[in-house]
Amino acid sequence: MKTQNQLRSLFCFVFLLISISLFSQKDNSVDIILTVDVSQLGDDPNDPGGCTFMAEPNAVVLENLNAKDFTIGVESGKKLKWIGRTTDGDVVKILKIYYLSGTNIFNKSNLRRCLFGKKVRNKVRRSTEANMDYTYGVKFKVKKKGRYYLDPKIRVE
């Protein structure tokens, strides 16, 4: 009986530690969400229409007139995760995030999704210099439509 109580207490303690760990990691991440209106995509893969970005939580949107001008501000050390979806709720596969210009804030120039994943994630490693925002390309695929490219920006303080 005493052993069962000890095991039960140990299980509750481990569960509590895991829960706290998961919730504390969430505060250090930013989801960059690409939403695509498939009816407005168009035929030009380098200038897709109907695309909008949103960032949540812990990010400041600095510019959001259109998807190509989208700029967010984040702190160094944040974990960024790019997620894609359509306005109908279907998944948009984020295939690759790649460096274009400015200060490269990651350790790699190309960030790829996991083998069967639909999103890309990485941790910000360095701050951007004044007027040197990290401009990156987003390569994404919409089901039955093809591959498209956007080039938003990130400013790291």
107 inside domain: yes
14 inside domain: no
CATH number at residue 150: 2.60.40.3910
Q: Show the beta-strand stretches assigned E in 37-119.
A: 51-56, 60-63, 71-74, 79-86, 91-101, 110-112
CA 153 vs CA 59, 116, 122: distances in Å: 13, 26, 15
pTM over 0.75? The answer is: yes
3 inside domain: no
Q: What's the pLDDT tens digit per position in 8-42?
A: 765 655 555 555 555 544 568 899 999 999 999 98
pLDDT exceeds cutoff 70 at 112: yes
Q: What's the pLDDT tens digit per position in 47-98?
A: 999 999 999 887 889 988 888 889 999 888 889 999 999 999 888 999 999 9
Domain extent for 39: 28-156
22 inside domain: no
Range with lowest mean pLDDT among 102-106, 123-127, 128-132, 142-146: 128-132
Tokens of 118: 């639909």
Total domains in the fold of the chain: 1
- Arithmetic mean of pLDDT, 104-131: 80
17 inside domain: no
Tokens of 145: 């439509």
133 inside domain: yes
Tokens of 146: 């093809």
